[in-house]
């Protein structure tokens, strides 16, 4: 990125420095952590929406759709904050605008396919267009400016479909699916527009330290929400021995998810990002974080819903949808970890595949069986996998003469 771009020369909006300084390792700022609080609420709303639907297929489809929209709004803002400094007043104001729009989206989630559909759609479209429009106006002509012009064009293209879907009850699903498909496809085609072509990936160089940290924090948001959901459910239930056991199993399951991600996937991704060239790091960031973290987050949310069902009714047997949530959630999480490992060029051992197979095979087995037994089975599978993966990491570190990796991004050689 050129110095002119960083200084904001020739921008349509006169401004002080708003870009992050080059040549320095970036970390998440306190304002970015503050920004994430809105998405803690959004993830909680999504979990409650799925529970309120009694885990029907229609409710699951609505929740999955809104989760993608919420995640996409957060993801795009994270890309922006990778280049723009949240410690400057103009960027804080932009992020505050995005927070407000995101809060309105989250408020609309419980009735996002009902009477608040238009609020959900308009909030999403407004934050996407508004954020990208600011970047276009605040940066001088050049490659970086042109990239965001093309991103803005795609946001404007999908916006009418979002709004129309919010207005049309009968045509909501096809309109919103078309809108979301456009938004999801845009990075894959590198924001191609007629006449200008696609944006070169060399222009999407990211700070690996900051970018990895931000997505790790979103995983923390999802895991933290699962702990809050199970804790609130337990506090509202009669504290019997069975309830205590169910709560303990749910909490230890969350610990296992944290361990598998932050002691397994995160270090692998960190090493790969840290040793990538400037041309490759943008593509890696797009693939691993923008796309492949979706099943990780969705799996955590789904598992939390399964845990809540068990805690609320620890003595009951699970119905089919409950078994799908309790076992399918961690399986989806592991599939996301495996996909991230493959994309990072990491050798995947046999254990994660066996764990996914056991969890999926357990769905028909535990359908109609004890919820406590199901939670115990999930914890055993995840716990054993965490031990196996940790031992493998220790062996690999010993073979290379190093220490087991952490989630910190290594400096490129």
Alpha carbon distance 105, 102 (integer Å): 5
| Helices and strands, counts by H and E, the chain | 15, 0
Q: What is the pLDDT of residue 7?
A: 47
Find, among 150, 128, 43, 22, the residue nearest to 85 by Cα.
22
Residue with tokens 């700070």: 207
Residue 411 has what DSSP assignment?
Answer: P
Rounded to an integer, what distance in angstroms lies between the CA atom of residue 229 and that of residue 93? 31
Exposure string of 146-161, with b = 16+ CB inside 10 Å and e = fewer, is bbbbbbbbbbeebbeb
**For residues 257 and 249, is the Cβ–Cβ distance under 8 A?**
no
User: How big is the CA angle at 144 (ends 141 and 148), to the nearest 5 degrees?
Assistant: 95
Structure token pair of residue 406? 């952490």
C-alpha to C-alpha distance for 394 and 1, rounded to whole angstroms: 39
Report whether 47 contacts 305 (CB < 8 A).
yes
Element (H, E) at 38: helix 30-52
Q: What is the pLDDT of residue 404?
A: 53
Residue 171: both structure tokens together: 């045509």
Between CA 60 and CA 321 the distance in angstroms is 10
CA distance 34 to 139: 25
Give the pLDDT of residue 22. 67
d(CA 413, CA 398): 21
Q: How far apart are the first and last CA of the chain?
A: 20
What is the model's pLDDT at position 3?
39
| Helix axis angle, 294-312 to 241-260, nearest 10° | 170
The pLDDT score that the predictor gives to residue 154 is 96
Q: What is the C-alpha separation between 181 and 395, in angstroms, rounded?
A: 43
Cβ burial 220-259 (10 Å sphere, 16+ → b, else e): ebbbbbbbebbeebbeebeeeebbebbbebbbbbbbbbbb
pLDDT for the residue 277: 62
| Helix locations, 139-240, DSSP H | 143-167, 172-185, 208-235
Torsions phi, psi of 36, nearest 5? Answer: -65, -20
Q: What angle is formed at CA 57 by the lines to CA 220 and CA 162, rounded to 5 degrees? A: 70
User: What domains are defined for the chain?
Assistant: 8-14+29-199 (no CATH), 208-400 (1.20.1410)
Give the count of alpha carbons within 13 A of 125, CB side only: 23
Sign for the CA dihedral angle at 137, 214, 282, 337 comes to: negative
What token pair was written down for 125?
């479209």
Separation of alpha carbons 151 and 198, rounded Å: 10
**Alpha carbon distance 212, 78 (integer Å):** 10
CA dist., res. 399 & res. 379, Å (int): 30
Q: What pLDDT was estimated at residue 24?
A: 60
For position 207, what pLDDT does the model report? 79
The pLDDT tens digits along the chain (413 residues) read: 443 344 445 555 554 578 877 656 678 889 999 999 999 999 999 999 999 988 899 999 999 999 999 999 999 999 999 889 999 999 999 999 999 999 999 999 999 999 999 999 999 999 999 999 999 998 888 878 888 999 999 999 999 999 999 999 999 999 999 999 999 999 999 999 998 888 887 778 787 788 889 999 999 999 999 999 999 999 988 889 999 999 999 999 999 999 999 988 888 887 777 776 656 788 888 999 999 999 999 999 999 999 999 999 988 888 999 999 999 999 999 999 999 999 988 888 899 999 999 999 999 999 999 999 999 999 999 999 999 988 887 777 676 665 555 555 444 33
Maximal C-alpha separation, the chain: 68
Supply the pLDDT for residue 62.
96
In this predicted structure, what is the pLDDT of residue 226? 92
pLDDT score, position 409: 46
Among residues 73, 55, 56, the alpha carbon closest in space to that of 120 is found at 73
| HEC letters along 235-260 | HCCCCCHHHHHHHHHHHHHHHHHHHH
């Amino acid at each position: 990125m050129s110095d002119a771009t960083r200084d904001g020369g020739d921008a349509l909006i006169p401004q002080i420095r708003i870009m992050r300084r080059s040549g320095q390792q970036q970390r998440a700022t306190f304002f970015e952590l503050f920004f994430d609080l809105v998405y803690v609420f959004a993830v909680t709303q999504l979990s409650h929406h799925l529970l309120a639907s009694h885990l029907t297929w229609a409710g699951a489809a609505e929740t999955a759709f809104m989760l993608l929209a919420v995640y996409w709004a957060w993801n795009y803002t994270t890309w922006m904050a990778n280049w723009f400094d949240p410690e400057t007043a103009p960027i804080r104001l932009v992020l505050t605008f995005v927070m407000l729009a995101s809060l309105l989206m989250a408020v609309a989630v419980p009735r996002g396919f009902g009477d608040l559909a238009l609020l959900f759609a308009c909030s999403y479209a407004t934050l996407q267009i508004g954020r990208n429009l600011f970047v276009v106006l605040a940066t001088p002509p050049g490659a970086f400016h042109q990239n965001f012009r093309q991103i803005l064009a795609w946001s404007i293209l999908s916006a009418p479909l979002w709004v129309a879907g919010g207005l049309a009850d009968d045509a909501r699903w096809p309109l919103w699916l078309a809108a979301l498909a456009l938004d999801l496809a845009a990075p894959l085609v590198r924001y191609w527009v007629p006449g200008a072509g696609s944006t070169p990936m060399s222009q999407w160089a990211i700070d690996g330290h900051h970018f990895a940290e931000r997505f790790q924090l979103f995983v923390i948001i999802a895991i933290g929400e699962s702990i809050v959901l199970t804790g609130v459910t337990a506090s509202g239930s009669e504290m019997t021995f069975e309830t205590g056991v169910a709560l303990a199993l749910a909490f230890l399951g969350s610990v296992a998810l944290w361990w598998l991600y932050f002691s397994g996937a995160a270090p692998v991704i960190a090493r790969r990002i840290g040793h990538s060239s400037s041309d490759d790091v943008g593509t890696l960031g797009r693939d691993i974080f923008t796309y492949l973290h979706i099943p990780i987050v969705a799996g955590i949310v789904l598992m939390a819903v399964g845990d809540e069902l068990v805690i609320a009714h620890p003595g009951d047997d699970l119905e089919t949808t409950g078994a799908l949530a309790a076992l399918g959630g961690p399986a989806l999480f592991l599939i996301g970890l495996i996909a991230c490992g493959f994309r990072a060029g990491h050798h995947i051992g046999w254990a994660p595949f066996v764990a996914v197979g056991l969890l999926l095979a357990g769905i028909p087995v535990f359908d109609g069986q004890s919820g406590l037994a199901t939670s115990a089975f999930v914890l055993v599978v995840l716990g054993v996998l965490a031990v196996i993966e940790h031992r493998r990491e220790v062996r690999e570190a010993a073979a290379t003469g190093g220490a087991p990796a952490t989630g910190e991004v290594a400096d490129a050689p």
